[in-house]
Amino acid sequence: MPMRTASVTAAHRMASALACALPDRLAAVAPVAGLRAGRPDPADESLPDPASCRPAKPVPVLAFHGQQDHTNPYDGGGSAAWRYPVPVALSRWAELNGCRPGATTAPITENVTLTTYRGCHPGAETALYTVVDGGHTWPGSPYESEGNGTTTREIDANTLIWRFFRRHHH
């Protein structure tokens, strides 16, 4: 029997693309080093193109990203699919999820902050863990990513994602 809903994690942009295209099939997404909210806008690549991501319903989002990621740079740039900054992608998801404008950022550990939006549609949590010295890595992994930033052990993405998905299931 086909699965009606699923929670998705991905190390790259696929989870974000699926959230844009198949919101009825997903309970939530938790991209690690890959939060997008559609393609870059051809008129201004520092912003997402609103026409390229119009989910029919809100999608809870919990993202993780290192500020020293050279593959998918936190501040944008890089490949053609990665022109706008991660906080801009989060802000767009907050808009799509009906959140109030203005995020709150709080320190979690010495090198990790959590940015959250409030007042979202019921169940449409929208948040980002930012790792100051983190690279294109999985937070909490025992493995380093040679040449692409530090792997933080200050948080554990597996545990945080599991808790998030337990709150957001169909």
The whole-number pLDDT of residue 5 equals 31
pTM given for the model = 0.91
Whether 64 contacts 129, CB under 8 Å: yes
The whole-number pLDDT of residue 1 equals 30
pLDDT tens-digit profile of 125-159? 999 999 999 999 999 999 887 778 899 999 999 99
- DSSP β-bridge partners for residue 30: 9
Which two tokens mark 80? Answer: 């053609």
Among 95, 137, 142, 135, smallest CA distance to 119 is for 95
Residue type, 24: D
Give the residue ranges of the chain where pLDDT is below 50: 1-11
- Burial of residue 15 (number of CB atoms within 10 Å: 0-12, 13-18, 19+): buried
The span from the CA of 64 to the CA of 57, in Å, is 22
- Burial of residue 11 (number of CB atoms within 10 Å: 0-12, 13-18, 19+): middle
The span from the CA of 106 to the CA of 97, in Å, is 21
